[in-house]
Structures are given as structure tokens and as C-alpha cells.
Amino acid sequence: MLHWGIILVGCAIVQSSLQATYYTVGDKWANVVQNPKHPQPLMQNSRWIINATNPHARIRVLCTDFRLAVSPPNSCKYAKVIFDDGVRKEVKCEAQWDLLVQGRSSSMSIELQVTPGGGGFLNCSAKQIAPPAEQEVIDLQPGEPVVRVAFPEVRGLDQLKVWKFRSASEDKISLQCTMGMEDRARSCDKCVKDILTIDAGEGPKQYCGSDKVVVISKEKEIKMRFETFPGTQAHIDCIAQGISGSDPNEYNNVKYSEEDSSEFGAVRGTKPTTCLCGISKRIQKGS
């Protein structure tokens, strides 16, 4: 007996013909795999072909519903999905939580293979991953006001934004972000819906969830890319600034000299006062 989670499934006759559906995707998520007979499971071999509008892009697929027949120890015998981008193949079976497949080319085929009694539920979206046509460039240097980046203005939409922070001097820059995003997927411990990618000179690193991120550039540049999945309410709030030392906050890197205010009752400092009010108090005290 096969199972989809707690759903019991009986035997069925699988059609031998292979159905193929073609999609072309751009920078926005598009639903490419679904069950037209939902709530009935997919019970026949099917194939979906996905191509990017940008021939230099890579296809990314996210399956928010992936529940195939479970029959240990060889569930793949009854139902499996093969992701093939022409470079490598990934085979997935049973149930997956927010399954993310990152392709290495501008096309990908998704093929469901089932045997009698097999099948399941699938719902997958896809988009292309490519360098954006536009990016916001922000120049920074120590002593200038910090720059705040808050995005997006309207939450819950499918959005992409890229920034490049550059040092206008020979100093480094820092970036500090708080965020409210979808957590990592439980099945793979990866960011799959909302993804914040930061490259401070040592390669791109991805963040999600509600962590606070603090990075300092290795050289003079930081790149940041933020992708939001529709309906998640994801947002970030960041502060970028030029720094002259090792602290991400420039005010901690600046050394201020101590000056004696000679205020009444205060401890004398290391430098004489230039404040007339201090002198005035001493005159008043001596009179």
C-alpha cells in the first residue's frame, strides 16, 4: 500500500503516453507544474520543459507542494521526479518541504515517472536567475552620513533589487541589516523563498529568516541582492557607511581628544579649556 503522508492510495492504471508542456520564464516566478485535476493526484507520466528568456541565465525551480507515493525502502520505484538541466540530473521521491532546485543552464526539464499505483501531488514555480539590467550604486566614505536602505516599499510581491556599495576613498565600508523573511526550508536548511545575498569580497553568502547581518568589505565594495517570494511579506532594513577602522560603526573608530571643561565640580581633563562658561564659573567661585 502506498501513502502520501496520511493519505492512503489504491492501485491505478498508468497511461503510457508522455505529456510534454513548454514554458518560457523571465525574472518573475511563474507556475509551471500543477495538477489540473486537483484534489486528485497526478497518476500519469508527465513532462514539463522550461526555458529562460535570457540565454545566459540559469533556471531556478521551487516546489511548494511535493508529495509522491511513499513505499519504503524503494519509494522511487513507484513515483519519482527527474530534474534535468542538461548538465546534471537530480532525482527526488517521497515528500519534500519547499523543494528548491537550482539549475546550471538556461533550460530545464521536469519529468514525473510513475508506475501502477504511484503518483502524487506537485506544484512548482520557476524563474530565471541572471544579473539584473539595473542596480543602484551608492558611494560611501568615512565622515559622511550613513545611508539607510529599506526595501520594499510594498510588501508581499514578487520583487528583485540589487545594490552596489562602493568606497569613495581608500577605506573599507560596512553593511548592517535587520530582516523579516521566510525561514530556511526544513528539508534542506537553505533559503528558498526570500533570499538576501551579500558579497563583501569573499564570495556570495545567502541569508533569510530574522537574523541580523553585519559585514565589512574585504576591499572597497559590497554587493547586495534581495529577492522576495509573493505573499511572504519579506523586508530588509540596512545601514551602510564608510569606516576608517575595524568597527562597523564609524563613530567607534574616531578618537576624540579630551578637553578640560573646568565646569564646577568636574574632574580636570588633559587639555586646558576653551569654554568661556568654565572660566566664568571659576571667576564666580573666586569672587
- Tell me whether residue 267 is in a domain: no
Contact 80, 91 (CB under 8 A): yes
Taking the complete model, does pTM exceed 0.85, yes or no? Answer: no
Q: Identify which has the larger pLDDT, 12 or 141.
A: 141
Q: Are 75 and 94 members of one domain?
A: yes
pLDDT exceeds 80 at position 122? yes
104 CB-contact burial (10 Å; exposed 0-12 / middle 13-18 / buried 19+): exposed
CATH of the domain at 103: 2.60.120.290
Residue where a domain terminates, one of 102, 129, 156 = 129
Q: Are 204 and 111 members of one domain?
A: no
Q: Are 197 and 140 members of one domain?
A: yes
What domain range is 31 assigned to?
A: 20-129
Q: Which of 38-52, 192-206, 264-278 has the lowest mean pLDDT?
A: 264-278
Q: Are 125 and 209 members of one domain?
A: no
Q: Are 151 and 205 members of one domain?
A: yes
pLDDT exceeds 80 at position 225? yes
pLDDT value at position 133?
Answer: 82
CA dihedral 107, 86, 187, 228 (to 10 degrees): -20
Q: How many domains does the chain have?
A: 2
- Tell me whether residue 264 is in a domain: no
pLDDT exceeds 90 at position 93? yes
Q: Are 95 and 171 members of one domain?
A: no
Q: Which of 5-9, 185-189, 208-212, 256-260 has the lowest mean pLDDT?
A: 5-9
Residue 176 to residue 224: CA distance in whole angstroms: 11
Q: Which of 36-45, 106-115, 133-142, 153-162 has the lowest mean pLDDT?
A: 36-45
- Tell me whether residue 180 is in a domain: yes
Contact 122, 63 (CB under 8 A): yes
pLDDT value at position 273?
Answer: 56
pLDDT value at position 211?
Answer: 83
What is the band of 10 on the pLDDT scale with cuts at 50, 70, 90? very low
pLDDT exceeds 60 at position 115? yes
Residue 208 to residue 188: CA distance in whole angstroms: 14
pLDDT exceeds 70 at position 2? no
Q: Which of 107-111, 172-176, 269-273 has the lowest mean pLDDT?
A: 269-273
pLDDT value at position 71?
Answer: 80
Q: Are 36 and 91 members of one domain?
A: yes
- Tell me whether residue 238 is in a domain: yes
pLDDT exceeds 80 at position 275? no
Residue 82 to residue 100: CA distance in whole angstroms: 13
